[in-house]
Structures are given as C-alpha cells and as structure tokens.
C-alpha cells in the first residue's frame, strides 16, 4: 500500500482538479463554509452546536478551496483539543485525525502535541473493540454484525495512524460476503439490494488491500450502470428515482479509480451540479428536493467538480 494515507492522496487529487475554478466561485463557497463555524472553532451541520463529523467535512472543503489561514488553523486546532479522544466513535475519529493532519499541513500547531504517549495504541484498541465475528467492523461495541461503511472508516484510520490493519484477509472476506447478484455491495448482511455508497466503500478498501480483480470490476460496472440517473448524477440505489450529491461523488470516484470513465459524462454531471445542487451564494445541497446547503454536501459538490475537472477527455 502507498505510504501516504488515502484521505491525503484524495485531498491532493481533488485540490488539483479544482485548479480551474474561478476566484469568485471559490470565494463564495469558502465564505459559505466559514459561515458554519461556531465560536469554539468547530463547525455545525444544519442546526445545533459544533460537531466533529461536520468539522471534518468543513476542513476538507477548506483544503480543496486553497487551505486554511493561520487564524483558521488556530480555531480548528482549539476545537480538536477540546474533544476527548477516548470518547470518540469511529466516525468521529476519522474527522478528528484528518482535521488535525490538515491543520499541520496548513502550517498550524500540532493539535495532538499534548496527547498521551500511548494515544495511537488506544486508538487501535478502540478500533479492534468494534470488530465483529464476521471479520468486519461495527459502529459500536454493541454491534453484532459488521458494517461496510464503518469497515471502510476503520481502514482509513489505520492508514492515518500508520498502523497495519490486523488480519486483512478477514476483512477482505467480509467484503466479498457483502456483494450481491446485482454486482454491487450492501451495507449490512441482511440487505438484498446493493447501494452506491456501500459499493464505493467496498471497492476502496478492496483496492487498498490489493483484493480487486477484473471480475469484481466488471460486476461493479454492471451495478453502476443501473444507478445512473437521467439527471446526470447517480442514485443511492435502484429504488430511489433521483440522483444525490453523495452518491454522485462516490460513484464517479469509483469509476475513475477502476477506469470506468465511459459510465459517466462530465458535462452532464457538471450540469446536474450547477443546475440542481449548487447555490449561487455558496454551498451545495444534497439533492434537488433539499432546501438548504451544508458543509458535508458542499464537500461532495466540490469534490465532484474536481473529478470532472480531473478528467481531460471529452465525453
């Protein structure tokens, strides 16, 4: 596996893909993201107080838009230091670790400098405490079965803390068992119908672990064909009749990573984003029916525009 973590590689790739964005458009989205920051330095969702989950997406968006200023780094760093590592869920650990690394990459102070000497060991112990008998990872210690999404998050965290994932073959088999006859992957074992986002998560982990092959790639192609939307984006599954920002981003990322660029048309995707999801004042919403923007979907919108910008061929 490459030495640089997946999230940092992806961030650099998306930043390059957004290089052609106009200064005015970039400024509007930057201002929207900062408008969601709270006095404690964290970022909120659509309501409530600062939240690590949304802070992670806000930081990722700021990095795509040119990085963080020293003042922004200081605010985010202060918020991260206020979060108790030993009380963080897997999903919050990803946001906490990535945001801290982003602060460092932007020239800010190390938010982890006062962590306990064994803090990385404790993180690894937390991850293994949610491993399930099927070889995957659950959301909490109470989970009896593994989750494709949370298994993906755990794999990301092991990369961020530079630790090998224990017993990777068990995780590979877990993911193989989550594949369905439609070619995609499901989130949990009882599900019969594949989803775009679990499929993208499974492909990412299997690629990280060197377990993708041509047959799997062909299966994923077949599934993604089924969730293409007339709007230009991708649907979450075959039963949902509209495209959304998250599924569009993960589907296109999967297409590009597997060399399936014939499955989507950049101009159609860009039209879907600008017509249905992007607010002229800044920010993106999740789908055409959504009324408001938030920092999570703003990241997915910016990320998808970056993937469109990355593809150099005409479609």
Over residues 225-263, the pLDDT tens digits come to: 999 999 899 999 999 999 999 999 999 999 999 999 999
Give just the sign of the alpha carbon dihedral 10, 198, 161, 166. Answer: negative
Of 312, 290, 303, 288, which Cα lies nearest the Cα of 254? Answer: 303
Residue 29 clears pLDDT 90, i.e. is over it: yes
Of 280, 309, 313, 312, which Cα lies nearest the Cα of 19? Answer: 309
pTM over the 0.85 mark: yes
Residue 281 confidence class, pLDDT cut points 50, 70, 90:
very high
Tokens 């990777």: give the residue: 168
d(CA 97, CA 94): 5
Joined tokens for residue 262: 């014939």
Residue 94 confidence class, pLDDT cut points 50, 70, 90:
very high
Residue 199: half-sphere exposure toward Cβ, Cα within 13 Å:
40
Measured CA to CA in angstroms, residue 166 lies from 136, 140, 155, 163 at distances of 11, 18, 10, 9
Residue 66 confidence class, pLDDT cut points 50, 70, 90:
very high
Element (H, E) at 155: helix 148-160
**Which tens digits make up the pLDDT trace of 103-117?**
999 999 999 998 889
306's CB contacts (< 8 A; 6+ apart) are 13, 14, 15, 16, 17, 18, 64
Averaged confidence pLDDT in the chain? 94
pLDDT at residue 311 in the model: 66
Measured CA to CA in angstroms, residue 51 lies from 76, 122, 158, 181, 296 at distances of 12, 22, 22, 38, 12
What ranges do the domains of the chain cover?
116-226, 227-315
**Which tens digits make up the pLDDT trace of 180-195?**
999 999 999 999 999 9
Q: What is the average pLDDT across 52-65?
A: 98
Whether 244 and 231 have beta carbons less than 8 Å apart is answered as no
Whether 274 and 263 have beta carbons less than 8 Å apart is answered as no
Residue 129 clears pLDDT 50, i.e. is over it: yes
Q: What is the average pLDDT across 40-45?
A: 96
Please give the angle made by the CA atoms of 190, 195 and 1, to the nearest 5 degrees. Answer: 100
Q: What is the average pLDDT across 202-221?
A: 97
Compute the 3-state secondary structure of the chain and give helix, strand, coil in percent, each to the nearest 5: 55, 5, 40
Whether 238 and 226 have beta carbons less than 8 Å apart is answered as yes
pLDDT at residue 195 in the model: 98
181-220 burial, b if ≥16 CB within 10 A, otherwise e? ebbbbbbbeeeeebbbbbbbbbbbbbbbbebbeeebbebb
């Amino acid at each position: 596996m490459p030495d640089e973590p997946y999230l940092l590689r992806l961030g650099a790739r998306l930043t390059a893909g957004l290089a052609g964005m106009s200064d005015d458009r970039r400024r509007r989205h930057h201002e929207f993201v900062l408008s969601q920051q709270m006095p404690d330095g964290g970022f909120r969702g659509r309501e409530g107080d600062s939240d690590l989950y949304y802070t992670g997406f806000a930081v990722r968006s700021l990095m795509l838009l040119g990085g963080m200023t020293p003042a922004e780094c200081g605010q985010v760093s202060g918020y991260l230091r206020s979060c108790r590592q030993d009380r963080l869920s897997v999903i919050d650990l990803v946001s906490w670790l990535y945001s801290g690394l982003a602060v460092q990459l932007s020239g800010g102070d190390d938010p982890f400098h006062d962590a306990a000497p064994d803090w990385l060991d404790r993180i690894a112990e937390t991850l293994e405490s949610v491993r399930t008998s099927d070889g995957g990872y659950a959301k909490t210690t109470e989970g009896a079965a593994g989750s494709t999404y949370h298994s993906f998050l755990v794999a990301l965290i092991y990369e961020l803390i530079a630790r090998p994932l224990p017993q990777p073959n068990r995780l590979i088999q877990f993911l193989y068992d989550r594949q369905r006859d439609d070619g995609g992957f499901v989130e949990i074992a009882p599900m019969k119908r594949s989803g775009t986002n679990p499929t993208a998560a499974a492909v990412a982990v299997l690629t990280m672990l060197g377990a993708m092959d041509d047959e799997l790639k062909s299966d994923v192609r077949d599934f993604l064909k089924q969730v293409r939307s007339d709007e230009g984006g991708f649907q979450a599954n075959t039963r949902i009749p509209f495209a959304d920002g998250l599924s569009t981003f993960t589907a296109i990322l999967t297409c590009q990573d597997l060399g399936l660029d014939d499955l989507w048309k950049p101009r159609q995707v860009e039209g879907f984003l600008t017509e249905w999801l992007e607010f002229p004042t800044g920010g993106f919403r999740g789908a055409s029916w959504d009324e408001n923007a938030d920092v999570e979907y703003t990241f997915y919108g910016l990320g998808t525009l970056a993937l469109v910008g990355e593809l150099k061929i005409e479609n």
